[in-house]
Amino acid sequence: MTDAVNQTARPPRNQWWDVWDQFKTHKGALLGAAFFVFIVLAVFLGPFIWTLDPTFIDIRARNQGPTLAHPFGTDQLGRDTFSRMLKGGQTSVAVGLTAMALSLVVGTAIGVLAGYFKRLDGLLMRFTDLFLALPLLPLLLVIILLFRDPLRALFGPETGIFILIVFVIGITSWMQTARIVRGDVLGLKEREFVLAAQSIGTPNRRMISRHILPNVMSPIMVSATLGIANAIITESALSFLGLGFPSDFPTWGRLLFDSTDYLQQYPERVMWPGLAISLTVLSVNYIGDGLRDALDPRIRGR
């Protein structure tokens, strides 16, 4: 009896360490996480090391292949592709992260409210279903076309488009998070610890922030990774259709779109932005896979 007690008496350990232990066993996820960190560091710190201006036009050095001075070559105006990739990555990753954050905030708020307050449930879920029934890509295109010019006039050409794209992606991708969170909250509400907290008179506000939210963190984290992937792809798709950022303001999607004009002459030029988008999304999806396994207590025990 005492033996058994001694064996189990380990120092108390935060559950996130268990999650990390499980996450480490998923090689793809680990590799994906390393690559994603590398990409984020490269695009945000890289411009300090590779100081060539992405908008600097050197018309004599146009259409060059990879050289020491321009490791990724130059485009039709002689701008350095490598520094444009870094700058474009900055925008793409920033759009991905902020749009994901926005959609998580909206999705979690609606999910928690719908799950926790019975009065709001029907209304909010109807609302979610309605959003799910909207044809999103066509609507995204229409919204961007309509509000591009007013927002540009308000915030300047770059910030305006950034705000618009982040907002538009954020408000069209929160539905899955909301549904998953609502389902989890509905289940949590029936648990004993919630009853215990209620019986000592915990107000709703603290109930949600102390008891409900920490327990729905797992699905939120998994949707966060999917959200980043989705946002990066959507932004690139919009830029690819010519409805994203202006062309002097590079993003990966825009670079890919511009390179397709030179597909016949310089087919290698589409590779850099395409690979960057694909590998980033792939790494984020692998992180999501690993997180899903690591956060699932049924798998973690094994």
Partner 1 sequence: MLNFTIRRLLMAIPTLLFIGLIIFLLLELAPGDPMAQVPLTVPPEVKEKMREALGLGEPTHIRFWKWLVQFFVVEPMYFLDNHFGTALAEGKQRVISWQTRSPVMDIVAQRIPQTLWVVGMSYVIGVLIALPIGIISAYRQYSWFDQVGTFISMIGFSVPTFFTGVLLIVIFSVMLGWFPSIYDTTLVVNSWSTFVMQVKQMVMPVFVLALYNAAQISRFMRASMLDNLNQDYVRTARAKGLSENVVVLVHVLRNSMIPVITVIALGVPQVFGGAIITEQVFKVNGLGQLLITAIYANDIPMVQTLTFIFAVLIVLFNLVADILYGILDPRIRYD
3-state secondary structure of 241: coil
Q: Tell me whether residue 108 or residue 236 sits nearer to partner 1 (CB atom).
A: 236
Query: Are the CB atoms for 105 and 171 separated by under 8 Å?
Result: no
Q: How far is the CB of 140 from partner 1 (least distance, A)?
A: 10
Question: What 8-state DSSP symbol labels residue 292?
Answer: H
Q: What is the largest CA-CA distance in the chain?
A: 83
Residues that bind partner 1 (CB under 8 A): 28, 129-130, 132-139, 141-143, 145-146, 149-150, 229, 233, 236-237, 240-241, 243, 253, 256, 260, 263-264, 267, 270-271, 274, 277-278, 281-282, 285-286, 289
Q: Tell me whether residue 45 or residue 145 sits nearer to partner 1 (CB atom).
A: 145
Sequence-distant (≥ 6) Cβ neighbours of residue 134 within 8 angstroms: 172
Q: How far is the CB of 255 from partner 1 (least distance, A)?
A: 12
C-alpha separations of 199 from 115, 190, 193, 195 in Å = 19, 13, 10, 6
Q: Tell me whether residue 209 or residue 278 sits nearer to partner 1 (CB atom).
A: 278
Q: How far is the CB of 159 from partner 1 (least distance, A)?
A: 20
Q: How far is the CB of 293 from partner 1 (least distance, A)?
A: 12
Query: Are the CB atoms for 127 and 116 separated by under 8 Å?
Result: no
Q: Tell me whether residue 101 or residue 243 sits nearer to partner 1 (CB atom).
A: 243
Q: How far is the CB of 267 from partner 1 (least distance, A)?
A: 4
Question: What 8-state DSSP symbol labels residue 10?
Answer: P
3-state secondary structure of 80: strand
What burial letters (b/e) apply to 103-130, b meaning 16+ CB within 10 Å? bbebbbbbbbbbbbeeeeeeebbeebee
Q: What are 197's two structure tokens?
A: 């907290």
Q: Tell me whether residue 50 or residue 155 sits nearer to partner 1 (CB atom).
A: 155
Which amino acid is present at 18? D
Which amino acid is present at 294? A
Q: Tell me whether residue 63 or residue 285 sits nearer to partner 1 (CB atom).
A: 285
Q: How far is the CB of 262 from partner 1 (least distance, A)?
A: 11
